[in-house]
Amino acid sequence: MRVYNTLTRSKEEFVPRRADAVAMYVCGPTVYNHIHIGNARTFLSFDVIRRYLEWRGFDVSFVRNITDVDDKIINRAREEQVTAPEIAAKYTAAFHEAMERLGVKAPTYEPYATQTIDEMIEMIERLIEKGNAYESGGDVYFAVRSFDGYGKLSGRDVDDMRSGARIEVGDLKRDPLDFALWKSAKPGEPFWTSPWGDGRPGWHLECSVMSTGHLGETFDIHGGGVDLVFPHHENEIAQAEADTGAPFARYWLHGGMLQINSEKMSKSLGNFMLLKDVLGTFPAPIVRLFMLQTHYRSPLDYSEERLAAAVKSYERIETAVRNARAVAEGAAADGAGASASSADESSLAEALVAAPEDARARFIEAMDDDFNTAGALAVVFDQVRLVNSFLDQIGSGRGAGYSDLLKAIIDTMLDLLRVLGITFAEGEDGYPVEVVDLAAQLAGYGGGDTREAVDALLASRAAARTDKNWGLADAVRDGLAGLGFVVEDTAQGARVIYRGQS
Ligand code: AMP
Ligand code: ZN
pLDDT (0 to 100) of residue 322: 81
The total number of residues written for the chain in this structure: 502
The DSSP string of 89-104 is HHHHHHHHHHHHHHTP
Q: Is the pLDDT of residue 502 over 60?
A: no
pLDDT (0 to 100) of residue 443: 95
pLDDT (0 to 100) of residue 385: 95
If one compares 426 and 66, the residue with the highest pLDDT of the two is: 66
Q: Would you call 427 helix, strand, or coil by DSSP? A: coil
Q: Is the pLDDT of residue 319 over 50?
A: yes
pLDDT (0 to 100) of residue 338: 42
Confidence of residue 399 (pLDDT cuts 50, 70, 90): low
Cβ neighbours of residue 269 closer than 8 Å, sequence gap 6 or more:
263
Confidence of residue 447 (pLDDT cuts 50, 70, 90): confident
Q: Which of 143-157, 165-179, 436-450 has the lowest mean pLDDT?
A: 165-179
How far is residue 113's CA from residue 92's CA, in Å, rounded to a whole number? Answer: 12
pLDDT (0 to 100) of residue 229: 98
Confidence of residue 501 (pLDDT cuts 50, 70, 90): low
The total of other beta-carbon atoms located within 10 Å of residue 118's CB is 11
Residue range 435-452: average pLDDT?
A: 88
Asked whether 437 lines ligand 1 (CB < 6 A), one says no
How far is residue 43's CA from residue 275's CA, in Å, rounded to a whole number? Answer: 12
Q: What is the 232 CA–ligand 2 centroid distance (Å)?
A: 6
pLDDT (0 to 100) of residue 339: 46
Pocket test for ligand 1, best of 35, 36, 39 (most atoms within 8 A of CB): 39
pLDDT (0 to 100) of residue 427: 45
Confidence of residue 397 (pLDDT cuts 50, 70, 90): low
Cβ neighbours of residue 313 closer than 8 Å, sequence gap 6 or more:
289, 381
How far is residue 338's CA from residue 400's CA, in Å, rounded to a whole number? Answer: 16
pLDDT in tens, 222-264: 999 999 999 999 999 999 999 999 999 999 999 999 999 999 9
Q: What is the 14 CA–ligand 2 centroid distance (Å)?
A: 22
Enclosing H/E stretch for 452: helix 450-466
Confidence of residue 425 (pLDDT cuts 50, 70, 90): low
pLDDT in tens, 331-356: 544 434 444 456 777 777 788 899 99
Residue range 164-175: average pLDDT?
A: 80
pLDDT (0 to 100) of residue 169: 67
pLDDT (0 to 100) of residue 29: 98
pLDDT (0 to 100) of residue 321: 87
pLDDT in tens, 83-111: 999 999 999 999 999 999 999 999 999 99
Q: Is the pLDDT of residue 112 over 70?
A: yes
pLDDT in tens, 50-77: 999 999 999 999 999 999 999 999 999 9
Domains, the chain, in order of start with CATH, read 2-255 (3.40.50.620), 311-419 (1.10.730), 428-498 (no CATH)
Confidence of residue 490 (pLDDT cuts 50, 70, 90): confident
Residue range 432-442: average pLDDT?
A: 88
Residue range 414-434: average pLDDT?
A: 78
Residue range 424-442: average pLDDT?
A: 76
Q: What is the 35 CA–ligand 2 centroid distance (Å)?
A: 16
If one compares 407 and 301, the residue with the highest pLDDT of the two is: 301
The total of other beta-carbon atoms located within 10 Å of residue 451's CB is 12
Asked whether 265 lines ligand 1 (CB < 6 A), one says yes
Give residues whose Cβ lies within 5 Å of ion ligand 2: 27, 207
How far is residue 90's CA from residue 170's CA, in Å, rounded to a whole number? Answer: 36
Q: What is the 228 CA–ligand 1 centroid distance (Å)?
A: 8
How far is residue 205's CA from residue 236's CA, in Å, rounded to a whole number? Answer: 7
Pocket test for ligand 1, best of 76, 92, 210, 227 (most atoms within 8 A of CB): 227
